Structure 1
Amino acid sequence: MKKTMFSALLASLICLALVVAGCASKGGNAESQAPAQASGSESGGGQIHIGAALPDFSDKWLSYLQEGMEKYQKTQDGVNVTYVDAQNDASKQLAQIETFISQKVDAIVMVPVDTVSAVDIVDRANKANIPIVVVNRWFEGVDKAASYVGSESITAGVMQMEEVAKLLGGKGNIAIMTGQLGQEAQIKRTEGNKQVIGKYPDMSIVLEGTASWDRAKGMALMENWLNSGKKIDAVVSNNDEMAIGAIMAAEAANKADGMIFAGVDATPDALEYVKSGKLQVTVFQNADGQGKSGLETAIKAARGEQVEKNVYVPYELVTKDNVDEYVKKWE
């Protein structure tokens, strides 16, 4: 009797198990069968993911460009931006771009470390069908990017040197302090300087050297120049940080009086030097405007909108006469 009851119970349990298994097979498993959630702009109005590859977080002017991007990002709903620092290492920046590509970001914003690797980076982004926007540093082949956002560097060099020539009355010995060799801004700003100097028979370049955009290196280079014994009437620098370093060295040697100093960028620190009369010339390069326009263009490209091939942000001459106007821009 007990054996018969046990057999009947066992048969019932087997039948129940078969019914449950059949229902599960028919209804499907929600966890394994449901389609994966799309990411980025493919999710139908979801988050847009932008990869921002910057060359050096410690560079003062570039930090303002990044702030411009971050401020604009806060005005945009559904936009996520990942910022990475290449630490001025071209191979590191390439690896960071490859990571963005593997993550399938919706667009990339890049300020290139150098003009050689930049060409390859743009090509890789294009092959992955990811729009890439190049900001600030122009190079041969940048036309293959979705857009270039920046300023025409040669204009800064021309504006800067024309004002220096005016202050010197068209006569004097010029020392040109350049940025990192091979970069577009270094090449073109210096070219602009030399174009102007070539118009004045009584002006000549007596010294030229690189301080790689850095204040401390600018100070060290200026110390070497002062020790050379050559007469210097004006130090014309590719950026403000190097110019400030040159001023500091000249002051320490008690040789700053009567010497003209010129930079580019019109950073807050530089504007203080202009107000004090120590830095006579700088050229405003709108870091905030370039950062904002770069990210804005990348977001449009990520959404499939048409973007301008070149977005130019103009340079503006800054002297003691109009410096307060530019101080307000940073407030």
Structure 2
Amino acid sequence: MKKSSVLLTIGLLLTAMIFSGCAGGGALSDAAGSGGAGGEAAAKGKKIVIGAALPDFSDKWLSYLQDGMKNYQKTQPDVDVIYVDAQNDANKQLSQIENFISQKVNAIMIVPVDTVSAVDMVDRANQAKVPIVVVNREYPGVDKATSYVGSNSLTSGTLQMEEVAKILGGKGNIAIMNGQMGHDAQIKRTEGNKKVISKYPDMKIVLEGTASFDRAKGMALMENWLNSGQKIDAVVANNDEMAIGAIMAAEAAGKAQDILFAGIDGSQDAFEFMKAGKLKVTVFQNADGQGKGGLETAIKAARGEKVDKYVDIPYELVTKDNMEKYMRKQ
């Protein structure tokens, strides 16, 4: 009897331990238990889970932004981040946000595929009481998100065009290469360009078209412009990739030396073209800073801490004179 009692006691203890182990769960189980209330998870010592919805893993500049998130994540041992790629599909990104909500993550970070669908995504997170931080791409109504972390695109277009005007001595024919139409960066950067041009009677816009932030499309658009026979003194592009495409087309036509090229973002490829004297102007958009700032803000929101509605990561003008400083930042 005594032996049977001992065996029974051991069996009961083992059963209790098994059930206790099952209850521990992984990172997502911890998040699910919080019901989306990050503050509760942090208070109970549970791991915080952040969902990061990015538009395109293959985009070079956005890869720098993701690196900024990952580097900051390494400093936060109590935080797990789930990264998902929408592959530039707004419907796919909406589905990813819904999945994050159903998994009961503690907060969501999103770089929207487009600014129209972003409104619905933020609304769904708000309805589920999950903090949502929008990074990089601003849009009307972004104030409904928990926070916006990014840079003011109007400032970048203004800085870019002011430097172009300075180099040209306040006169010349300008060709503006737009990014994806309707995108906040396209609208605000071009607006900044045009506000500066309006101050100079001897500067005028002679050509304007879209290349959707894409190098190959920038090259094709520049080929069309060169074939038009229109005199161009400067190509001012909404981003570096289009500017590089334009440079490549002009080089192929033997006309690159006659045209000033300007971009925005301060990518590593852009710095290589600047070092070679082919790109004269870019404006540094701090991808690492936006990534770090976005994750830092999301973690604070998940913990129930107060966060700023607008976290500004400033743009900075880059020319060949100061580019070395910025080459180390990306």
Cα distance, 1:275 vs structure 2: 1.5
* 1:295 paired residue number: 295
Q: Distance in 2 between matches of 1:144 and 1:58?
A: 29
| Mapped pair 1:129 → 2:129 | yes
Matches within 5 A, 1:45-84: 45-84=45-84
* 1:139 paired residue number: 139
Matches within 5 A, 1:268-307: 268-307=268-307
| Mapped pair 1:217 → 2:217 | yes
DSSP-derived class of the 1:329 partner: coil
Matches within 5 A, 1:144-159: 144-159=144-159
CA displacement 1:176-200 (0-9 Å, x = unmatched): 1111111101100000000011111
DSSP-derived class of the 1:121 partner: helix
Percent of matched pairs sharing the same residue: 73
Cα distance, 1:204 vs structure 2: 1.0
CA displacement 1:215-243 (0-9 Å, x = unmatched): 11111111111111111110000000110
The structure number with the bigger radius of gyration is: 1
- What amino acid maps onto 2:241 in structure 1? E
* 1:255 paired residue number: 255
Matches within 5 A, 1:99-118: 99-118=99-118
Q: Distance in 2 between matches of 1:169 and 1:71?
A: 43
Cα distance, 1:115 vs structure 2: 1.1
Q: Distance in 2 between matches of 1:34 and 1:282?
A: 55
Cα distance, 1:329 vs structure 2: 2.2
Cα distance, 1:126 vs structure 2: 0.5
* 1:10 paired residue number: none
* 1:328 paired residue number: 328
Q: Distance in 1 between matches of 2:21 and 2:286?
A: 49
- What amino acid maps onto 1:124 in structure 2? R
Q: Distance in 2 between matches of 1:315 and 1:33?
A: 52
Q: Distance in 1 between matches of 2:207 and 2:122?
A: 36
Q: Distance in 2 between matches of 1:241 and 1:220?
A: 13
Residues 329, 33 of structure 1: alpha-carbon distance in 2 compared, 3 angstrom cutoff: closer
- What amino acid maps onto 1:175 in structure 2? A
| Mapped pair 1:314 → 2:314 | yes
Q: Distance in 2 between matches of 1:211 and 1:75?
A: 39
Q: Distance in 1 between matches of 2:257 and 2:84?
A: 42
Cα distance, 1:89 vs structure 2: 1.1
Cα distance, 1:286 vs structure 2: 0.3
| Mapped pair 1:39 → 2:30 | yes
Cα distance, 1:201 vs structure 2: 1.2
- What amino acid maps onto 2:223 in structure 1? E
CA displacement 1:94-138 (0-9 Å, x = unmatched): 111111111111000001111111111100000111000000111
Q: Distance in 2 between matches of 1:318 and 1:34?
A: 55
* 1:92 paired residue number: 92
Cα distance, 1:161 vs structure 2: 0.3
- What amino acid maps onto 1:79 in structure 2? V
- What amino acid maps onto 1:39 in structure 2? D
Q: Distance in 2 between matches of 1:34 and 1:126?
A: 33
Q: Structure 1: which 5+ runs fail to align?
A: 1-15
Q: Distance in 2 between matches of 1:243 and 1:59?
A: 16
Superposition TM-score, scaled by structure 2 size: 0.89
Q: Distance in 2 between matches of 1:319 and 1:214?
A: 22
CA displacement 1:147-197 (0-9 Å, x = unmatched): 000011000000000110111111111111111111101100000000011
* 1:186 paired residue number: 186
Cα distance, 1:325 vs structure 2: 1.4
Structure 1 consecutive aligned stretches of length 4 or more whose deviation exceeds 6 Å: 31-35
* 2:237 paired residue number: 237
* 2:34 paired residue number: none
Residues 268, 175 of structure 1: alpha-carbon distance in 2 compared, 3 angstrom cutoff: same
User: Could you tell which deviates more after superposition, 62-71 or 82-91?
Assistant: 82-91
Matched residue count: 307
* 1:265 paired residue number: 265
Q: Structure 2: which 5+ runs fail to align?
A: 32-37
* 1:3 paired residue number: none
DSSP-derived class of the 1:257 partner: helix
Q: Distance in 2 between matches of 1:264 and 1:238?
A: 6
- What amino acid maps onto 2:73 in structure 1? Q
Residues 34, 71 of structure 1: alpha-carbon distance in 2 compared, 3 angstrom cutoff: closer
Q: Distance in 2 between matches of 1:227 and 1:59?
A: 30
DSSP-derived class of the 2:212 partner: coil
Q: Distance in 2 between matches of 1:45 and 1:206?
A: 61
